[in-house]
Amino acid sequence: MIFAKVIGTIVSTQKDENLKGKKLLLCKEVDHEGNPLKAYHVAVDAVQAGEGNFVLLSYGSSARMTEATKNAPIDAAVIAIIDNVQVLHTVKG
């Protein structure tokens, strides 16, 4: 899973049958502190996330493993809305 910030919604009327009723979110990849990285992803919303939310994004075939996304032609899903990230330990080197 990767950290992301929801930066928008994709509106689409013509789409694959298995994407009907699913919200597509435009997500910018961020680090654990919320600082933006380069990549962005279009992800299916599985937790009613909204713009500005700090979220956890699952990618690849694993993204299909939720009730909301099974059998859908997708490779990214928003699977959690993050409240807080806590640093517990630092690895040297």
Partner 1 sequence: MKLGVVTGVVWASKKVKELDGCRMYIIQPVSVNGNKTDAPLVAADPKNIASGGDMVVYVTSTDAAQAFDSGFAPVNASIVALVDEIS
- 3-state SS class at 29: strand
Indicate which single residue of 8, 32, 34, 51 sits in contact with partner 1 (rule: CB under 8 A). 32
Residue 4 bridge partners (DSSP) = 29, 55
CA torsion through residues 13, 77, 60, 31, sign: positive
Looking at residues 49 to 88 of the shown chain, list those that interact with partner 1 (rule: CB under 8 A). Answer: 56, 58-69, 77, 79-88
- When asked if residue 15 is in the footprint of partner 1 (CB under 8 A), the reply is no
Determine how many CB atoms are found less than 10 A away from the CB of residue 28.
16
Indicate which single residue of 2, 12, 26, 75 sits in contact with partner 1 (rule: CB under 8 A). 2
Residues that bind partner 1 (CB under 8 A): 1-3, 32, 46-48, 56, 58-69, 77, 79-93
